[in-house]
Amino acid sequence: MANGVNRKIYREPVDIEKITEIIPSSGEGKWTAEEVLRLKVNVPIITQPFMMRFVSEDCDKISEKLVALLHNQFGGNAFVKDE
């Protein structure tokens, strides 16, 4: 599935410069990460993506822009466009 998603974002024309690096959140990741921390369980597959959302707000990297596009294709999450 990931290969199909990757192909789709590269096939469709997107002006990467107009996409902000901010990765939006629906809130489920925050709740899950808080619960993992409360239970003192090490689940990096949950906590690391959640933390990347904070990192994405502080930097202007193409990698975060591509992650935002992947989130859009995989989960339908919106990405923010600069006008």
pLDDT computed for residue 1 by the predictor: 47
Cα-trace Rg, the chain: 14
pLDDT computed for residue 60 by the predictor: 64
User: Measured in whole angstroms, how far is the alpha carbon of residue 63 from the centre of its chain?
Assistant: 10
**Nearest CA-CA partner of 72 in 64, 57, 28:** 64
Ranges of the chain whose pLDDT falls below 50:
1
pLDDT computed for residue 19 by the predictor: 65
For the chain, the domains span 15-75
pLDDT computed for residue 39 by the predictor: 94
pLDDT computed for residue 18 by the predictor: 66
